[in-house]
Amino acid sequence: TLTVRQSCPPTPGQPSKEPFHIPLALGLLDAVGRDLPLQLEGENEPRGTTRVLELRQSEHTFRFENVPARPVPSLLRGFSAPVRLNSAESDADLRFRLAHDSDDFNRWDAGQTLAVRTILALVEDRRQGRNWTLPESFGAAFGQALESGADPALLAQVLTLPGETYLAEQMQEVDVDGIHAARIFVQRTLAQRLREALLATYETLHADERDGYR
């Protein structure tokens, strides 16, 4: 069961807004990261592994059938609508999508969301005087993405951490020094932990490039 709600803040001359028509493309991932066939309630059979759900009301509940266990949702695939998505997605689900999601945009988005949470948590740790540590699971998820065989151009985007300006926009009270220091810490720690995988990827791409000029 998936319940989706939409809202739009008032703007000058429009204190209240009617619901928009939002096409929401989504998929469901099983326990090993495969796309599940999607069958909505009342349908006789599945209709693909990515479906576009039409949200026209303020709130709508979509029910899927023949889902054997709790899946990991992959929402707004391909950035199917120009909206800001807020979900109660756990860090574990974000790491899973970063490692396995078949949708390029969502894999990138999962990595960005996870990185924002992690960096801002480090900024708060700095403010509280706590020592910095980067969870092993954070680096492992990026490592899985790196070794997934995905397109190198996508991997370059996935491995690029959110910029300091964007991170500042996510804070009510901006800590410029904290953001800079935390981002550098995450960047360097990732580079250390993924050194071998990064070097192997570089050598592979460099070899392919050399072969292309022969």
pLDDT in tens, 177-186: 999 999 999 9
Question: What does the alpha-carbon distance between residue 101 and residue 99 come to, in Å, rounded to a whole number?
Answer: 6
**Can you give the pTM of this predicted structure?**
0.85
In the numeric block, the tokens 């979900």 are attached to: 87
Interacting residues of 116 by C-beta distance below 8 A, sequence separation 6+: 162, 166, 167, 170
Q: Return residue ranges of the chain for CATH 2.60.40.1840.
A: 1-88
Taking only the tens place, the pLDDT of each residue in 69-89 is 899 999 999 999 999 888 889
Task: Kindly report the length of the chain.
Answer: 214
> 5-9, 27-31, 123-127 — which is least confidently predicted?
5-9
Domain with CATH 1.25.50.10 in the chain: 90-214
Confidence of residue 9 (pLDDT cuts 50, 70, 90): confident
Q: Report the alpha-carbon distance of residue 193 to residue 147 in Å, rounded.
A: 14
Model confidence at 197, pLDDT cuts 50, 70, 90, reads confident
* Topology annotation, domain 1-88: Immunoglobulin-like (2.60.40)
For 90-214, CATH gives 1.25.50.10
Q: What whole-number distance in Å separates Cα of residue 201 and Cα of residue 189?
A: 18
Q: Which two tokens stand for residue 89?
A: 């997605």
Give the three-class secondary structure for 5: strand
Task: State the pLDDT confidence band at 208, using cuts at 50, 70 and 90.
Answer: low
Average pLDDT over residues 182-205: 90
C-alpha span between 176 and 90 (Å, rounded): 27
Instruction: State mean pLDDT over 192-206.
Output: 86
Which three-class secondary structure state does DSSP give residue 26? Answer: strand
